[in-house]
């Protein structure tokens, strides 16, 4: 029996079929593995399929927002023009890919903002809140509290709460 990672490597050889293959996945841990293996130089069709997938859970959405690709964070900070400036050549040379980028950012940011991503099997620590974690030292707790207070100036709590 092949693992999701092995299946992903086989599917990666045929990029055109990947979004359809992702739609057929049945759980959020498989989506997590796909993102682990994904080469972001291949565009946004696969990440868009992941954030649109009904099994994309809150932890994976947070991971995509904070750890994997900063495009959605840039979109969050300036939803009008930042992505258009960052991807100006893509918008000019590959409008379909630019539309996927915008759709990915909008889907991810709005899904987190409106808290539409369900809780699932995946876990992700945003590095904010979670001050009661017994593994934190007093110093780590103070740093995390300060970091959280600062982040709340720019992000709604829904983007900061870890999914543990």
Cβ neighbour number for residue 67 with a 10 Å cutoff: 12
How confident is the model at residue 124, as a pLDDT?
98
pLDDT band at 144 (very low <50, low <70, confident <90, very high): very high
How confident is the model at residue 12, as a pLDDT?
54
Q: Has residue 130 got a pLDDT over 80?
A: yes
Structural domain for 134, as ranges:
125-164
SS3 of residue 88 by DSSP: helix
Q: Based on the domain organization, do 130 and 89 belong to the same domain?
A: no
Q: Based on the domain organization, do 32 and 108 belong to the same domain?
A: yes
Count of structural domains within the chain: 2
Q: Based on the domain organization, do 115 and 139 belong to the same domain?
A: no
Q: Based on the domain organization, do 154 and 80 belong to the same domain?
A: no
Sequence-ordered alpha helix ranges (H) in 24-117: 28-37, 45-52, 58-63, 71-77, 82-86, 88-93, 95-113
Q: Based on the domain organization, do 72 and 47 belong to the same domain?
A: yes
CA distances from 23 to 50, 65, 66, 139 (A): 8, 21, 23, 44
Q: Based on the domain organization, do 112 and 80 belong to the same domain?
A: yes
Q: Based on the domain organization, do 152 and 98 belong to the same domain?
A: no
Q: Based on the domain organization, do 98 and 151 belong to the same domain?
A: no
pLDDT band at 115 (very low <50, low <70, confident <90, very high): very high
Q: Has residue 133 got a pLDDT over 80?
A: yes
How confident is the model at residue 5, as a pLDDT?
59
Q: Based on the domain organization, do 148 and 107 belong to the same domain?
A: no
pLDDT digits (tens, 9 = 90+) for 2-55: 666 566 555 555 566 778 889 889 899 999 999 998 989 999 999 999 999 999
pTM, whole model, 2 decimals? 0.89
């Amino acid at each position: 029996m092949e693992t999701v990672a092995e299946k992903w490597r086989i599917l990666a050889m045929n990029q055109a079929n990947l979004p359809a293959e992702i739609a057929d996945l049945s759980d959020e841990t498989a989506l997590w593995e796909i993102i682990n293996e994904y080469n972001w130089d291949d565009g946004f069709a696969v990440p868009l399929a992941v954030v649109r997938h009904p099994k994309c859970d809150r932890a994976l959405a947070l991971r995509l927002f904070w750890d994997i690709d900063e495009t959605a964070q840039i979109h969050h900070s300036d939803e009008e023009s930042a992505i258009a400036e960052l991807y100006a050549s893509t918008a000019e040379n590959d409008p379909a890919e630019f539309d996927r980028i915008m759709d990915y950012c909008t889907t991810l940011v709005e899904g987190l903002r409106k808290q539409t991503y369900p809780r699932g099997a995946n876990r992700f620590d945003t590095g904010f809140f979670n001050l009661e974690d017994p593994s934190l030292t007093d110093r780590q707790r103070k740093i995390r509290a300060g970091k959280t207070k600062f982040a709340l100036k720019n992000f709604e709590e829904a983007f900061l709460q870890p999914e543990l």
